[in-house]
C-alpha cells in the first residue's frame, strides 16, 4: 500500500511558507481529490475557490487575522458551503444523477423523496450547518491529498467569514465560507514549529474499543 | 506520487458489503491516519469508536435505519464529538502540548489565552457544533485512508444519533455521535450501484477560479 502514514506524519499545519509556487498539476490533483470525495446524498453542497492572485491574497490577509500563510502560500483553497439547501438544488442534483447514469429522473423518485423529507426537517440555518459539515469532509480530503503530493498545507478557521464573503462576493453566489486550506511549501528557517514533535492524543486516549464499552 | 486519484475514483459509498473481516492492521492504519489528521487548535475534540462486535452491530442496526452495511461491514468507525468544550479540556490540551514538546506549560500562555478567548465567544451548543465539524475532517481523512488501503467504506449520517448515544453510553462519556464510517468489502452481486458511474459536479461547476471573481 501507499505509505500514507509516513505522509500523515510528515504533514503539519505549516505556520510560515516560502511563497514558492506549486506546479499547477499538483493543485489540480488536490482539487480533483476533493471533487471526488464523499458528501451526504452525493450532493456536494459547496464550492471550492482556488485563489492564486497575489493582490487578492493581500486583500484577504486582514480578514484572516493577518496570518502570514495567506500571502506566503502558493494557492488558497476556500471552502464555501451553500447558504441553505432548497428544493431547486435537490432537483438539479436528481437531474445530474439521471444524466450521469443515463436513467430517467422518474426512477429516482424514492431518492428525491428522501432528500425532500430530510429538507423538511431542517431550517435554512440548520441546512447550512449540514452543508458546512460536508465542507469539512472536503477539507479533510484536501489535507490528505496535499500530504500525498508532498505539499504543505495549513487548514484555517481563524478568519472573519462574513468579511471574506463580502470581499469575494460569495453572498451573491449563495455561498458562505467555512474554512481555508493554504497550500505551499514550509519555510524551515522561519517556522519555529517545523521540527516540533507532533502533538496527538495517544491511541489509547483517542480510540474507544467496543470491548471497553459497558453496553457490550 | 501515489496514485490517489485512482483510489478516489475506485471508492464509492458502498451499499452492500460481504461481511468479510478486514485484516486488523488495515483497520489500525486507517484509525492511525485519522489520529494524525488536523483539528482546530490541534485539540482533537472527539473520539473514534471502533466497533467489531457482531452482536453490538446488530443492536446498532435499528437506530441506523436498518442500513445493511451496519451488519455487513467488517468494522464500524463511529465519530463522537465532545459534548461542549470546557476550560478543563483546554487545560488538558496545554499539558499535552507541553509534555509532548518538553516545554513549560507557562510558555504556552498565549496559545491558551487564544483558546480561552475562543471559548468565551461560544455557547455550549456552538462549541459542540465546532467539535462536530472537526469530526468531519476525521471522516474525510478516514474515507481517503480506507481507499488507499483498498477498503470499501460507507460514510453514514442517516442514523438516530440520540439513540446511538444511548445505546453506547456516550452521554456519560461526554460525547455525541456525529457520523459512522462502515468499513468492509463491497458485495458486487448485491450492490446495484457497484458499476454505476460516479456522480460528481463537473470541475467547471465545482471550482470557482479567482480569475472569474468580479472582485479581482
Beta-carbon contacts of residue A110 (< 8 Å; ≥ 6 apart) = none
Q: ipTM of this model? A: 0.97
The rounded distance, in Å, linking the Cα atoms of A157 and B85 is 17
What is the distance in angstroms between the Cα of A92 and the nearest Cα belonging to chain B?
10
Q: Do B37 and A140 touch (CB under 8 A)?
A: yes
Q: Do A169 and B13 touch (CB under 8 A)?
A: no
Q: To which residue does cell 461547476 refer?
A: B205
A175 within 8 A of A80, measured Cβ to Cβ: yes
Q: What angle (nearest 5°) sits at the alpha carbon of residue A182, between those of residues B48 and B147?
A: 40
pLDDT at B215 over 70: no
For the residues B36-40, what does the mean pLDDT come to?
Answer: 98
Q: Which helix (H) or strand (E) holds B47?
A: strand B46-51
Mean pLDDT of chain B: 96
Tally helices (H) and strands (E) across chain A: 9, 5
Q: Do B100 and A197 touch (CB under 8 A)?
A: yes
What is the distance in angstroms between the Cα of A69 and the nearest Cα belonging to chain B?
16
Q: What integer pLDDT is reported at residue B213 of this predicted model?
A: 86
pLDDT tens profile B186-204: 999 999 999 999 999 999 9
Suggest the residue from B4, B131, B198 to mutate for an interface test with chain A (most A CBs closer than 10 A).
B4
B140 within 8 A of A141, measured Cβ to Cβ: yes
Give backbone dihedrals phi and psi of B182, rounded to 5 degrees, phi first: -80, 130
The rounded distance, in Å, linking the Cα atoms of B137 and A140 is 4
Query: Maximum distance among all alpha carbons in chain A?
Result: 60
A207 within 8 A of A104, measured Cβ to Cβ: no
Q: What integer pLDDT is reported at residue B48 of this predicted model?
A: 98
Q: Which residues of A touch B101 (CB under 8 A)?
A: 196-197, 199
Q: What integer pLDDT is reported at residue A214 of this predicted model?
A: 63
Give backbone dihedrals phi and psi of A75, rounded to 5 degrees, phi first: -135, 150
Q: To which residue does cell 450521469 refer?
A: A100
For the residues B137-151, what does the mean pLDDT come to?
Answer: 98
The rounded distance, in Å, linking the Cα atoms of B6 and A186 is 27
pTM of the full structure: 0.98
The one-digit pLDDT tens for each residue of chain A (216 residues) are 569 999 999 999 999 999 999 999 999 999 999 999 999 999 999 999 999 999 999 999 999 999 999 999 999 999 999 999 999 999 999 999 999 999 999 999 999 999 999 999 999 999 999 999 999 999 999 999 999 999 999 999 999 999 999 999 999 999 999 999 999 999 999 999 999 999 999 999 999 999 998 655
For the residues B205-210, what does the mean pLDDT come to?
Answer: 97
Report the DSSP pairing between strands B207-209 and A46-51.
parallel
Q: Which residues of B touch A51 (CB under 8 A)?
A: 210
Q: What integer pLDDT is reported at residue B214 of this predicted model?
A: 63
Looking at chain A, which runs of residues are DSSP E strands?
46-51, 75-82, 152-156, 175-184, 207-209
What is the distance in angstroms between the Cα of B110 and the nearest Cα belonging to chain A?
15
The rounded distance, in Å, linking the Cα atoms of B94 and B102 is 12
Amino acid at each position: 500500500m501507499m505509505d500514507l502514514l509516513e505522509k500523515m506524519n510528515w504533514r503539519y499545519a505549516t505556520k510560515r511558507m516560502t511563497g514558492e509556487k506549486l506546479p499547477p498539476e499538483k493543485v489540480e490533483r488536490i482539487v480533483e481529490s476533493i471533487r471526488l470525495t464523499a458528501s451526504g446524498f452525493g450532493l456536494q453542497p459547496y464550492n471550492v475557490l482556488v485563489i492564486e492572485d497575489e493582490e487578492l491574497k493581500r486583500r484577504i490577509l486582514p480578514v484572516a487575522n493577518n496570518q502570514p500563510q495567506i500571502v506566503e502560500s502558493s494557492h488558497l483553497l476556500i471552502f464555501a458551503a451553500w447558504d441553505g439547501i432548497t428544493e431547486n438544488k435537490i432537483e438539479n442534483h436528481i437531474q445530474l444523477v439521471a444524466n450521469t447514469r443515463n436513467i430517467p429522473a422518474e426512477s429516482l423518485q424514492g431518492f428525491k423523496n428522501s432528500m425532500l423529507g430530510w429538507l423538511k426537517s431542517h431550517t435554512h440555518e440548520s441546512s447550512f450547518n449540514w452543508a458546512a459539515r460536508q465542507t469539512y469532509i472536503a477539507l479533510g480530503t484536501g489535507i490528505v491529498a496535499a500530504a500525498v503530493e508532498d505539499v504543505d498545507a495549513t487548514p484555517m478557521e481563524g478568519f472573519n467569514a462574513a468579511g471574506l464573503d463580502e470581499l469575494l462576493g460569495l453572498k451573491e453566489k449563495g455561498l458562505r465560507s467555512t474554512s481555508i486550506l493554504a497550500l505551499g511549501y514550509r519555510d524551515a528557517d522561519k517556522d519555529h514549529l517545523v521540527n516540533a514533535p507532533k502533538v496527538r492524543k495517544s491511541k489509547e486516549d483517542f480510540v474507544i474499543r467496543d470491548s471497553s464499552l459497558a453496553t457490550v
